[in-house]
Amino acid sequence: MLSISQAAKTTGLSIKSIRHYEQIGLIQSPPRGENDYRYYPEAMIRQLHFIKSTKDAGFNLKECKELLLLCENKERSSADVKIIAQQKIEELQARIDQQQVLLNSLKALTKQCHGNSKAECPIIDAFIK
């Protein structure tokens, strides 16, 4: 069993994040020792690693919780997991597409700007409209 600081160091999460996950019910509150400190058993450390990995992959906390519940359910259907992953792929692709449009627009504006000592600037003009 690890203390909260040891759990944070082991998982790469902050103490604040771990406490937040407890408060919102993403993980259960760990057992407390005689000194009233939280002590995290190995199963909870695995949950925290899982949460960190899913967050690093771009999933929000709601999605992390869904995936964690599926992870812990030995009767799960891989189809349920795949649906969540496919939804995330669609969301990420939409954001990438939006960012690509913004990038192309900014590149076009930058090409139009002479970049000289004059005040005229198509980039500024585009933002004023």
Domain residue ranges of the chain, discontinuous segments joined by +: 1-76, 89-129
pLDDT in the model for residue 125: 92
Size of the chain in residues: 129
β partners of residue 40: 2
Mean pLDDT value across residues 48-67 = 97
**CATH hierarchy code of domain 1-76:** 1.10.1660.10
- If one compares 101 and 38, the residue with the highest pLDDT of the two is 101
pLDDT tens per residue across span 98-124? 999 999 999 999 999 999 999 999 999
Tell whether pTM > 0.85: no
Q: Are 64 and 72 in contact (CB under 8 A)?
A: no
Q: What DSSP character marks residue 31?
A: P
* Closest to 25 in 3D by CA, of 70, 82, 56, 69: 69
